[in-house]
Amino acid sequence: MKSINKVTLLGAVGQDPEVRFTKEGLCIASFSLATSEKRKDKAEVTQWHNCVAFGKLGEIVQQYIVKGTKLYVDGAISYQTYDKDGEKRYATKIVLNDVSMLSSPSESQKTQQKASGKAAALAPDELDDDSIPF
């Protein structure tokens, strides 16, 4: 019987990626991705997903992804168990196979500045998410 482990997410990066390299030089980039949905009772529920990219994809994440970037990601769920201070711990991660940027790093930084009240006036021809009908 065939089995499938596939995850597709569309969301916003929660913090700048944390990047490290193995002794062999393999890049490992980790970041959180927020997805939100509105429930029937009109409450918005946000889920945080721990994502990790290896190798060339990790290097691309390191170079282009910053907090606030909107991403479409594709990957697989990975469950890990480890001991810390004599206590058994669990971790769930999305191991990425593909990442598509839906906003540029400069747009993400503008969004951050706007949210913190430090944004300069946007050019009239720039679009924001609210002006897109889908």
Contact by Cβ (8 Å): 11, 33: yes
Of how many residues is the chain composed?
134
Per-residue pLDDT reduced to its tens digit, 21-42: 999 999 999 999 999 998 888 8
Q: Dump strand ranges (E) for 18-86.
A: 18-21, 27-38, 44-54, 70-84
Measured distance CA(98)–CA(74) in Å, rounded: 5
Tokens (6 digits) for 99: 């990442």
Residue 18, CB half-sphere, CA atoms under 13 Å: how many? 9
Provide the whole-model pTM: 0.74
Per-residue pLDDT reduced to its tens digit, 43-98: 999 999 999 999 999 999 999 999 999 999 999 999 999 999 999 999 999 999 99
What confidence tier does 131 reach under pLDDT thresholds 50, 70, 90? very low
Least confident of 9-23, 68-82, 116-130: 116-130
Q: What does the buried/exposed string (b/e) look like for 6-35 if buried means 16 or more CB atoms within 10 Å of the residue's CB?
A: ebebebbbbeebebeeeeeeebbbbbbbee
User: Which of 93, 69, 92 minimizes the C-alpha distance to 10?
Assistant: 69
Helices (H), the chain: 55-64, 105-115
